[in-house]
């Protein structure tokens, strides 16, 4: 029975990481192609700097802050998308988790003191934010369903 739980955990983590990688790749490609693209990397660096300042910790240089943010995004989004789990309801969970993350990405940065611009500056930016997080959730669901059929 322990093997079954281990397999389920590995399936969830791999599925979640897959959704996170696709989300990050889309964000990184789009920022080169569209001025309206969401800049979640900018929000991540702002968040990192804010946390470090609150902890009275030294601030890293721009490249280090960016790299730490990208690694953190992959890890945290991967863990979040791993909640998709398995089974036929994975598609619904992936869509719901993705939409929730996307709406949160539009609504929360301002109140958190990170600024509105990176994810909220135009209607297109808002739409892309929600759509891409939803895509990440659906990729996680798709990988989970594929894994279950193996």
The DSSP annotation for 79-117 comes to HHHGGG-SSTTHHHHHHHHHHHHHHHHHHSTTTTTS-SH
CA distance 14 to 61: 31
Q: What is the pLDDT confidence band of residue 19, given thresholds at 50, 70 and 90?
A: very high
Model-level pTM?
0.92
Q: What is the pLDDT of residue 3?
A: 67
Q: What is the pLDDT of residue 148?
A: 85
- Token readout for 128 is 């892309």
- Mean pLDDT is highest, among 6-10, 43-47, 87-91, 114-118, for 43-47
For residue range 122-141, list pLDDT tens digits in order.
999 999 999 999 999 999 99
Concatenating the DSSP letter of every residue in 45-67 gives HHHHHHHHHHTTPPPPPHHHHHH
């Amino acid at each position: 029975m322990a093997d079954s739980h281990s397999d389920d955990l590995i399936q969830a983590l791999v599925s979640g990481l897959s959704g996170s990688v696709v989300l990050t790749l889309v964000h990184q490609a789009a920022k080169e192609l569209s001025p309206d693209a969401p800049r979640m990397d900018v929000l991540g660096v702002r968040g990192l700097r804010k946390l470090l300042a609150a902890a009275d910790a030294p601030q890293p240089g721009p490249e280090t802050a960016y790299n730490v943010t990208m690694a953190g995004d992959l890890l945290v989004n991967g863990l979040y998308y791993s909640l998709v789990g398995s089974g036929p309801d994975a598609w619904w969970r992936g869509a719901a988790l993705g939409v929730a993350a996307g709406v949160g990405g539009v609504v929360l940065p301002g109140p958190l003191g990170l600024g509105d611009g990176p994810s909220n500056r135009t209607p297109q930016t808002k739409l892309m934010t929600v759509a891409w997080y939803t895509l990440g959730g659906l990729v996680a669901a798709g990988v989970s369903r594929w894994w279950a059929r193996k």
